[in-house]
Amino acid sequence: MAGAIAYISRDTDGVAWRKQLEAGLGQIDYRTIADGLGNTDEIEVALAWKPKPGLLATFKNMKMIVSLGMGVDHLLADDKLPEGVPITRIMDDGLVGQMSEYAIYWALRHHRDIDKYAASQRAKAWKPEEFVDSIHRRIGVMGLGTIGQDTAKKFAALGFPAAGWSRTAKTIAGIETFHGADGFRKFLARTDILVDVLPLTRDTKGLLNAQAFATLPKGAYFINMARGGHVVDADLLTALDSGHLSGAALDVFNTEPLPADHPYWTHPKVHVTPHIAGATNPRTASSSVIENIKRLRAGQPLINRVDPKTGY
C-alpha cells in the first residue's frame, strides 16, 4: 500500500489540496498537521511550507519533500533535513501570472506618476506631470527563472526596454541579459525600475546593499517580490532618504510579519504589502505534484527537483 501524504502547513488550504490530489491519484491516505499526523513512520510524501525545524527529520520513511511554494529557502533553512530525501518544488502557472501582475502594477503606477496625481487630487490641484516615454524607462529583472522570464517578457511586450540578470548566462529573445558578478554592476547601472525575483541563497543574501543601490541610476524605483533577505534594510532606507531612489514597493521582508515598529510601515516612499504578490493555488499547482507522486511510486525520475547546493 502507498504511504501517506502529509500536509505540513498551518494555512487553510489543506482541504483544497486533498481535493486536487484525490482527483489525480484516487483515494489516498492524506493527513494534515492541523488534524494530526498519526504514525509518522507511514508518511511517504510531505507537502511543506515553513515546517518547524527538525520536524521532517522525524518522518523515518519519507521519500519526497514538496515545497508548497516555488521558492525552497524555507526548507533549506532547516539544517536537520533528512539526508538523501529529494526536494521538489511546485511549478504553478497561476502563481507565475500573479507575480508578473504585481510587478507590472507597481511599475506602471510609478511610471505614470499615479501617486503624484493622487496627492494633487487631495490638494484639488490640476497639475500635469512631465511624462517619461516607455522606451526611456528601463526595466531590470533580477532572476531569470520561470517567474523572471515571464515578467521580463511582459514588460518588453508593453514597450519597455527589458533586461534580466542571473547567476549563469541565459539567452532570451527580446531581453538583454547579464550574468555573474561582472554583469551585475552593468545590469544595475542601466536599470530605472528594478524588479527582484531571485531565489534566496547563500550567494544572494544581502546582495542589495548600499553599493548595489548606489549603482542604480538616480531616481530608480525598487520592487521586491522575491525574498526580504536579499535586502539590507538600513541601506535601502538610506538610499530612499537621500533621494537616490524614488521609491519602493515591498512584498517580502527580513522578518515576517513585518514588525509594527519597522520604518517601512510609515515611510512616505515605501508601499508595503503582506507577502501576497503570488499565492500558491492548489487548482493550478497540483498537476506537477501529482505527476511527481506518480513518478515516485513508479520509480521514475522526478521533475522540478531542487539542488540543495544552489538553493533552486
- Angstrom distance (rounded) from CA 31 to CA 104: 38
Give the confidence band of 12 by pLDDT, cuts at 50, 70, 90: confident
Residues 6+ apart with CB under 8 A from 196: 142, 143, 208, 222, 223, 224, 225, 226, 230
Q: Answer whether 195's CB lies under 8 Å from 147's CB.
A: no
Per DSSP, the three-state class of 94 is helix
Answer whether 47's CB lies under 8 Å from 73's CB.
no
Same domain membership, residue 157 and residue 103: yes
Cα separation, 70 vs 18, in Å, equals: 19
**What tens digit of pLDDT does each residue of 64-123 get?**
999 999 899 999 999 999 999 999 999 999 999 999 999 999 999 999 999 999 999 999
pLDDT digits (tens, 9 = 90+) for 221-279: 999 999 999 999 999 999 999 999 999 999 999 999 999 999 999 999 999 999 999 99
In a domain, 109, yes or no: yes
User: Per the domain annotation, does 291 fall within a domain?
Assistant: yes
Length of the chain: 312
pLDDT tens sequence across 199-225: 999 999 999 999 999 999 999 999 999
* Rounded-to-integer distance, Cα 151 and Cα 97, Å: 8
Query: Does 68 fall in a domain?
Result: yes
> Catalytic positions, please?
227, 275
DSSP 266: T
The Cα 281–Cα 298 span in angstroms is: 26
* Domain span holding position 287: 4-92+280-298
Same domain assignment for residues 151 and 72: no
Secondary element (H or E) of residue 245: strand 245-250
For position 69, which CATH number holds? Answer: 3.40.50.720
Q: Does one domain contain both 219 and 175?
A: yes
Asked whether residue 312 is assigned to any structural domain, the reply reads no
Residue 1 pLDDT exceeds 80: no
Crossing angle of the two packed helices 14-25 and 282-298, in degrees rounded to 10: 50
In this prediction, residues 178-195 reach a mean pLDDT of 98
- Extract the C-alpha cell encoding 278: 503570488
Q: Are residues 138 and 228 in the same domain?
A: yes
Q: Tell whether 111 and 58 lie within a shared domain.
A: no
Alpha-carbon span 9 to 189, nearest angstrom: 41
Beta strands in 68-161 (DSSP E): 87-89, 139-142
Computed over every residue of the chain, the mean pLDDT equals 96
Dist CA 13 CA 234 (whole Å): 35
Under DSSP, the state recorded for 304 is: S
Domain check: are 68 and 171 in the same one? Answer: no
Specify if 14 maps to a domain.
yes
Cα 137 to Cα 112: distance, rounded to the nearest angstrom: 11
Shared domain check, 164 and 86: no
180 is a domain residue: yes
Q: Do 150 and 194 sit in the same domain of this protein?
A: yes
Q: Is residue 145 part of a domain?
A: yes
Residues pairing with 51 in the sheet: none
Whether residues 182 and 47 share a domain: the answer is no
Asked whether residue 79 falls in the same domain as residue 128, the answer is: no
**149 and 203 fall within a common domain:** yes
If asked whether residues 135 and 250 sit together in one domain, one would say: yes
Number of separate domains in the chain: 2
Domain assignment present for residue 307? The answer is no
For residues 191 and 159, what is the distance between their CA atoms, to the nearest angstrom?
15
